Amino acid sequence: MAKVIVVTSGKGGVGKTTSSASVAAGLAMQGYKTVAIDFDVGLRNLDLVMGCERRVVYDLVNVVKGEATLRQALIGDKRQEKLHVLPASQTRDKDALDFEGVGRVMQELVDMGFDYIICDSPAGIEKGAQLAMYYADEAIIVTNPEVSSVRDSDRIVGLLDAKTRRAKEGLDPIKCHLLVSRYNPQRAERGEMLSIDDILELLGIELLGAIPESQSVLNASNQGIPVVLEQESDAGAAYMDAVKRFLGEEQPHRFLEVEKKGFFSRLFSPTPRNAYAG
């Protein structure tokens, strides 16, 4: 049975699209037929992060309006056979999508045999974000260890509990998973950044993973590669751990603690206080 997962956050710029791309690619790497849908109508970007921007012909709005078939709009990933992308439209018409039309597309994707449908939500709590979350069975809340992001995440959890199909039909509530991105364990240890424990205590949802602040995220998006494909990078490995945890595998959390340095590396490296730049 297909599962619909919304990747959401409330706040913009915390890594929803990066996370959607990596979670979708990670699930495909694990052998599941997966589609990532960009719900950010007017500000399409998932295609760019996943490296298929030049192959976009039709989009979600075209399908909802019956101007193209779903098969015409779906873009198959060139690296992962099981990975597909359904891009957002660049239209400025805010009412281009409606709940019923999106529901039809979801049903058709289920009928096509997709195992996972990843909905990349736009920022905010307006209609676009509500459309992205409406049909979800589970939610991945992307949060940065920073006050405004944590507050907005709590608002989003409230909306997931109230404004979705599961809430309206009285089904089991959407299962929420927390994905903390741009985490810096050194700064958290020094008390300069909210720690994972702080965020978990504040939001009261289960931890799916922490993605370390890393150069590799930008390097990957620069090239249109979901960072999860770069398994030798810390962020890529962290995303894959999170995907495996999502699938129910036990995975130790590798990136929550400061790496303990050996005697020599401590001797020859600057103190952590001076080492931080930026």
Query: Contacting another protein (CB under 8 A), which of 12, 76, 158, 173?
Result: 158
CB contact burial 198-217 (16+ within 10 A = b; e otherwise): ebeeebebebbbbbbbbebb
**With binding defined as CB under 8 A, does residue 9 bind another protein?**
no
| Min CB(154)–another protein separation in Å | 5
Query: Contacting another protein (CB under 8 A), which of 55, 155, 261, 266?
Result: 155
d(CA 167, CA 148): 26
**With binding defined as CB under 8 A, does residue 191 bind another protein?**
yes
| Min CB(113)–another protein separation in Å | 36
| Min CB(152)–another protein separation in Å | 10
| Min CB(199)–another protein separation in Å | 9
**With binding defined as CB under 8 A, does residue 210 bind another protein?**
no
**With binding defined as CB under 8 A, does residue 257 bind another protein?**
no
Q: Which residues contact 214 (CB under 8 A, 6 or more apart)?
A: 233, 234, 235
d(CA 55, CA 146): 36
d(CA 33, CA 84): 8
Query: Contacting another protein (CB under 8 A), which of 81, 192, 206, 259?
Result: 192
CB contact burial 121-160 (16+ within 10 A = b; e otherwise): bbbbbebbbbbbbbbbbbbbbbbbbeeebbebbbebbebb
Query: Contacting another protein (CB under 8 A), which of 48, 110, 112, 202?
Result: 202
Contacts with another protein, residue ranges (CB under 8 A) = 146-147, 150-151, 154-155, 157-159, 161-162, 188, 190-195, 198, 201-203, 273
